[in-house]
Amino acid sequence: MEKVREELLVARCKRGDQDAFAELVSIYEKKVFNIAYRMTDDPEDAKDLAQEAFLRVYTALPSFRFDSSFSTWLYRIVCNVCLDEIRRKRRKKTVYLNQPRVTDEGETYRQLVDSSDGPSEIIEREELQRAVIEGINALSEDYRMVVVLRDLQGMSYEEIAVYLNISLGTVKSRLNRARTALKQRLSGLELFKKESVQRCEGREMR
């Protein structure tokens, strides 16, 4: 049913129905935005990228011939847009974690959260999440992408292979390496304690 409804919407879009497109956007915007957000770690950039991806979809819709499902096509475009943008940005500047970050209060060093005097559990949890995000950001964009798609968006290996136009084997090995790298980064943290992890694990593992 969902599929049929979506195809109808796409068909209406192809005829230039902007309301139909708005409806399509409403279905996918959350996922698209979150992929972009996790890839860029900046709400503004994420918004721009997500909009750019949707615009590309809209522009290319007339030539979309249902060779794949609409969502597959959409995610492929989203992944492309994100990777393109990150590569383009990286060409301009490279951010290293040990590079000072200029803030209003002056220079601070990017730090993976130091929780030695961690006050409350909530803050601890937030800090842990922040640490994961920093860890993900430290990965190269290809590794980051598979982690975001698999572990944050819960997509299957097959889907990821299609979205990124890589083989299943590549997905496997990339994901493995990405997770290993992430683990190494996080295991250096004091916060990375059994109990907090276990709590998360127990709640989230499916």
Dihedral sign computed on CA atoms, order 96, 102, 103, 109: positive
Residue 106 beta carbon to another protein: minimum distance, rounded to whole angstroms: 29
Other beta carbons less than 10 A from residue 62's beta carbon: 11
**162 touches another protein (CB under 8 A):** no
Span from 18-26, 88-96, 108-116, 137-145 in contact with another protein (CB under 8 A): 18-26
Residue 10 beta carbon to another protein: minimum distance, rounded to whole angstroms: 13
**33 touches another protein (CB under 8 A):** yes
Residue 107 beta carbon to another protein: minimum distance, rounded to whole angstroms: 28
* Interactions with another protein, residue window 181-200 (CB under 8 A): 182-183, 186-187, 192, 197-198, 200
Q: Tokens standing for 40?
A: 């860029």
Site string for another protein, 71-100 (x = CB under 8 A): ---------x---x----------------
Closest CA to 36 of 186, 155, 153: 153
**201 touches another protein (CB under 8 A):** yes
**166 touches another protein (CB under 8 A):** no
Task: Report whether 145 contacts 164 (CB < 8 A).
Answer: yes
List Cβ neighbours of 124 (8 Å cut-off, separation of 6 or more).
115, 118, 191, 196
Residue 80 beta carbon to another protein: minimum distance, rounded to whole angstroms: 5
What single letter denotes the amino acid at residue 143?
Y
Binds another protein by CB under 8 A, chosen from 128, 145, 162, 164: 128
Closest CA to 174 of 161, 155, 190, 192: 161
